[in-house]
Structure formats: structure tokens, C-alpha cells
Structure 1
């Protein structure tokens, strides 16, 4: 299935309506566009005045959409991935969370020796 990558670099409101992402301009309230959620694969947010509703985030996570947030230099700053989308990914996250303190210290000392 082919998915769309959407970049938003202007002030916008993003909300969920009729199973679609509605992109609205805050100053005028006019809808700039709408995208069916099932068509989305990646959403890149590159402006500090973007408002996104939590209901929309939850719906996108349910449809395996990756959300990337950019910083002031327009570089990727953070990523939001659905955890339940793939069993291997979920298992890796669980293993990383449950790692012992002793093992963390061991990994840290090895990392510093390599550099």
C-alpha cells in the first residue's frame, strides 16, 4: 500500500473530522486541505504554531502513521511511533526498558572506551 508523506511548515490547526485530517489556517479559519488518515504514512510538523488535537494523534497511531517534529533549524527533533504496530519493535522496547542497572553501566563503560 502506498502512503503519503505530508509536510506542514506554516501555522495550522490539525483536527480529525470524518476520518480525515483537516488542516485549517488559524488566522482565517479556512480549511487549507484534508487528507484521509488511511492514506497517511508520515506527518512532518515544522512550525512552532501548529496545533494538533490528541484525538487525531490517537487515530494516526492506530493507522501506523509516523509523526516527526522539527526544531528551529528545521531538523528532525523527535519522532512518535505506534508501539503496538509490530511485535519485534514492541519486544525491543520492552527489553530496553527492563534492562538492569548493572548492564546499563557495563554498556556505558564500553561505549566510553571505544571513543
Structure 2
């Protein structure tokens, strides 16, 4: 049986995928009212179907199974987006440090958050 044929019925997998999906949507959203656009962008960038993202968000209680391939795609997209956000934060930190100086409380707090004390 191929990878697409494997299915998990454990609700923990669906719950985790729903959480990743919501976080991905939040990270891609430009503000209130931009959820649909964010989900479309996730579909374009990561290949996760808009309809499935929508179902995870609004019809989670009706979903019973998730394929391994979809679960892994959502997990990989979530990790990639987290890494992108971390790079963005590091870039912002470097720019802020140039402007405010290394002794700025904002710079010190951001470095502590990133573990760069």
C-alpha cells in the first residue's frame, strides 16, 4: 500500500494538524479578515489544499482521518514557516541593534528570546 493509502484515525494527529494549520494561517495572515487569503497562500507555497485547511479550521469535528502524506506536509510547512519567521526576527534584531545599539532593552530582550545572550 502506498503512502497515500495509509490513514490514521487517532484524533491527536488531527488535533495537531489543526493546530499547525491555525498557526500557519496566523503567520501568513496580514490581519483580521485575511484568513482566506492566508490559506490560499499556504496552498500555493506548500501544496496543502485550501479545502482541507478550511475543513481543519471550521469543520474539525467532522473530520475523522488524515493521511500520513497530508499530516507530514502540514508538519513540514509549519516547520519551514517557523524557520522563516525566526530568520525574519533575526534580521529585525540586527537592524534594530544598528539603530538602537546593543545595550537597548529591546535588543537585549530579543536576544534573550533567541538565546543569543
TM-score (norm 1): 0.24
Highest RCO, 1 vs 2 (Cα 8 Å, sep ≥ 6): 2
Bigger share in strand: 1
